[in-house]
Structure 1
Amino acid sequence: MNRPGPAALRVRQAVRAWHAAHGSGPTVAVALSGGADSLALLTGVLAEGLDAVALVIDHGLQDGSAEVAARAATLARELGARRAEVLAVTVDGAGGPEAAARAARYAALDAARGGAPVLLGHTLDDQAETVLLGLGRGSGARSLAGMAPWTDPYGRPLLGVRRADTRAACAELGLAPWDDPHNLDPRYTRVRVRTEVLPLLEDVLGGGVAEALARTAASLRADNEALDGLAPAPSGPELMVDEIAGLPAALRIRTLRAWLGARGARALTGAHLAAVDALVTDWRGQGPTAIPGGSAGRRLQVHRTGGILRAW
């Protein structure tokens, strides 16, 4: 491997800063696709002297995916990873191919990590795309806060590093990353945000948009953490309307989200929460509100009876 240049050093410094803030030991698992982001992340982890285990997901969605995964695992061993394992998954869940692949990937990583944190190669550019997608869905401040540097057991050391830097780091080190054709497929919404929406915004607004979106995410994440700490934490299967009706909307919605999550709700949108909130603040005797449940195709029904919310 060649001598590191400035981009590789930026990646290494990002890993060092992340580990100082969030690391709990020398062993980490790196989710490795063979692409520039995860490959650069692995080199930064190894340069920092961490004990790296590379976990390579084979989604089986493209011809030759097993060979791509095997090459990534071999390269990880050559670079110095203590172990590299290919995890073959079946992508057949609900929510479309992107959501199903993500669910299968995270389940496999969690099962194989052996108690170690899993580091993901998400960059500042990925963060900017996530914020724009959340804005388009109207999911509120929680969605606009983007991805966190640490959400147990997943870490994202490169959220302050540009995608151009991960590519440059690989080039400096003499590494040839794999280019996933799905990353240029306009059938995927995120790809169109990456290749069409963000470049247009950068052009119209004079640059700096990706960095500004990432700063927005960090600011909103801090606000969310503070408000989450102030919101009541419901503990039972029933929620008394009188206990939350007088709360500010920001705290009331957070309380409802936490309560619904404990009842098995998943993938809640702003519209779902507004409909449940109407059972508290705009009660006119309306019937139950349906929200997504914990399994494919399942819906929870939220009822208000006698001043009490129940979900089943």
Structure 2
Amino acid sequence: MSGAPSAWHAARRAVGEMLDPHGLNLVACSGGADSLALATAAAWHHHRATGPSAAAQVGGVVVDHDLHPDSVEVAGRTVSQLKKLGLEPVRIYSAHVDPESPLGPEAAARTGRYQAFRKAMVELGASRILLAHTKDDQVEQVLLGLARGSGTRSLAGIPSARGPFRRPLLNLSRSDTEAICEHYQLQWWNDPANADPRFLRSKIRTEILPYLERELSGSLRESLARTAKIAADDADYMESQAKDIFPVLLEDPDPNGALRLKLKALRAEPPAIRRRVIALAVAAAGGANPSFERLSAAEKLVTGSRSTGPVEMEGHIRIHRGARQTPDYGKLVIVPPSG
């Protein structure tokens, strides 16, 4: 392997750090350069005889979204290349994409894809799925977060690990993955949707990022990737602080499942922690992750709004401040849908 590009050695090391040596690891492969490069690095560990990742079992999962006329052919060619690399088992799964989804086509495809991943994990008995997001994907995610006015967690970009999912290639670029594929004579597929400006991520990739690099700095991608790393560290710390503080502020729930937070102590926390504690309470009551707008409305109940609420949150959760001369005075009350 001495003639392999340096990117391959970097990919191999990164994959080795994220493999489960005791379970089945599935490489999620679309047939693009990124996922085929990932599969090549994972296959090296699959065949390795010694070392920490010795005999790590690696298979492949190919998701067919059925969004273009060549999808069956692309999926079949991808399976063939994964099998030539020696991965086992290799399976194709179909993803249901709701064309009427209010979230838009990109989010609908992502939802269908992750449903297929979870089905594959159950049916094949896998413990981890390796995803081929690269530094370029990370940079695009940071710009998407900026465009949407999102918070620190969104600016942190794509996490390297979440649940059973691992992303070893976040420090490699698309040019790196293409170099790996060229070296190993793998035929990758270029999804036409990746260059379709109708999709916001594609527009960022093909128009906005190149423009910013020309007008601002050729090292913009590195700067944005560094921003993501800093934001991720900050977000991890603040979320850890909020998780430590949440049980201290939480009173015992009542039989109906309503949660109560100590208002004065919550008010004393910095806004970044306060909002995260409220979000944790909403999640604990069975709600979805709140938007910034709804969190801000709930926070006003803590910091002195004349209104006592209620504020409606995602998942039909209601938040109100206990009124004077009631047992809930001095408390922020989070009521689940059945409350």
Q: Same fold (TM over 0.5)?
A: yes
Q: Which residue of 2 aligns with 1:78?
A: 84
Alignment partners' CA distance in 1, 2:116 and 2:167: 18
**Aligned 1:70-109 pairs, distance under 5 A:** 70-92=76-98, 93-109=101-117
Amino acid at match of 2:305: W
Deviation at 1:286, TM superposition (A): 5.3
Q: Which residue of 2 aligns with 1:269?
A: 291
8 Å CA contact 1:30–1:55 kept in 2: the answer is: yes
Q: Which of 240-249 and 211-220 deviates more?
A: 240-249
Deviation at 1:269, TM superposition (A): 3.0
Amino acid at match of 2:134: T
8 Å CA contact 2:321–2:333 kept in 1: the answer is: yes
Q: Which residue of 2 aligns with 1:257?
A: 279
Q: Which residue of 2 aligns with 1:196?
A: 207
**Aligned 1:94-173 pairs, distance under 5 A:** 94-113=102-121, 114-173=125-184
**Larger relative contact order (Cα-Cα within 8 Å, sequence gap ≥ 6):** 1
TM-score (norm 1): 0.90
Q: Over residues 167-192 of structure 1, what are the superposed CA-to-partner deviations in whole Å (9 max), with x where a residue is unaligned?
A: 12111111110111111111110001
Q: Over residues 80-127 of structure 1, what are the superposed CA-to-partner deviations in whole Å (9 max), with x where a residue is unaligned?
A: 111111111211254111111111111210221224211100000000
Give the gaps of 5 or more residues in structure 2. Answer: 47-55, 324-330
Q: Which residue of 1 aligns with 2:7?
A: 10
Q: Which of 197-206 and 277-286 deviates more?
A: 277-286
Q: Which of 277-286 and 167-176 deviates more?
A: 277-286
Amino acid at match of 1:79: L
Alignment partners' CA distance in 2, 1:287 and 1:230: 27
Q: Which residue of 2 aligns with 1:296?
A: none
Q: Over residues 218-245 of structure 1, what are the superposed CA-to-partner deviations in whole Å (9 max), with x where a residue is unaligned?
A: 1111122122221123465413233411
8 Å CA contact 1:12–1:45 kept in 2: the answer is: no
Alignment partners' CA distance in 2, 1:228 and 1:309: 21
Are residues 1:36 and 2:58 paired? no
Give the gaps of 5 or more residues in structure 1. Answer: 294-298
**CA 1:204 to 1:57, structure 2 compared with 1: closer, same or farther past 3 Å?**
same
Alignment partners' CA distance in 2, 1:116 and 1:205: 43
Name the SS for the 1:29 alignment partner: strand
8 Å CA contact 2:279–2:289 kept in 1: the answer is: no
Alignment partners' CA distance in 2, 1:301 and 1:63: 46
Deviation at 1:4, TM superposition (A): 5.4
Deviation at 1:303, TM superposition (A): 3.3
Deviation at 1:271, TM superposition (A): 2.0
Deviation at 1:23, TM superposition (A): 3.6
2:319 to 286, 295, 302: 302
Q: Which residue of 2 aligns with 1:19?
A: 16
8 Å CA contact 2:139–2:225 kept in 1: the answer is: yes
**Aligned 1:55-74 pairs, distance under 5 A:** 55-74=61-80
8 Å CA contact 1:12–1:47 kept in 2: the answer is: no
Name the SS for the 1:283 alignment partner: coil
Q: Over residues 183-219 of structure 1, what are the superposed CA-to-partner deviations in whole Å (9 max), with x where a residue is unaligned?
A: 1111110001111111111111221111111111111
**CA 1:76 to 1:272, structure 2 compared with 1: closer, same or farther past 3 Å?**
same
8 Å CA contact 1:4–1:173 kept in 2: the answer is: no
**CA 1:23 to 1:78, structure 2 compared with 1: closer, same or farther past 3 Å?**
closer
**CA 1:255 to 1:178, structure 2 compared with 1: closer, same or farther past 3 Å?**
same
State the aligned residue count: 303
Alignment partners' CA distance in 1, 2:225 and 2:8: 17
Q: CA RMSD of the aligned region, Å?
A: 2.1
How many percent of aligned residue pairs carry the same amino acid? Answer: 39
8 Å CA contact 2:308–2:320 kept in 1: the answer is: no
Larger Rg: 2
Alignment partners' CA distance in 1, 2:201 and 2:285: 30
Are residues 1:239 and 2:260 paired? yes
Q: Which of 215-224 and 47-56 deviates more?
A: 47-56
Deviation at 1:251, TM superposition (A): 1.0
Alignment partners' CA distance in 1, 2:12 and 2:246: 34
8 Å CA contact 1:139–1:269 kept in 2: the answer is: no
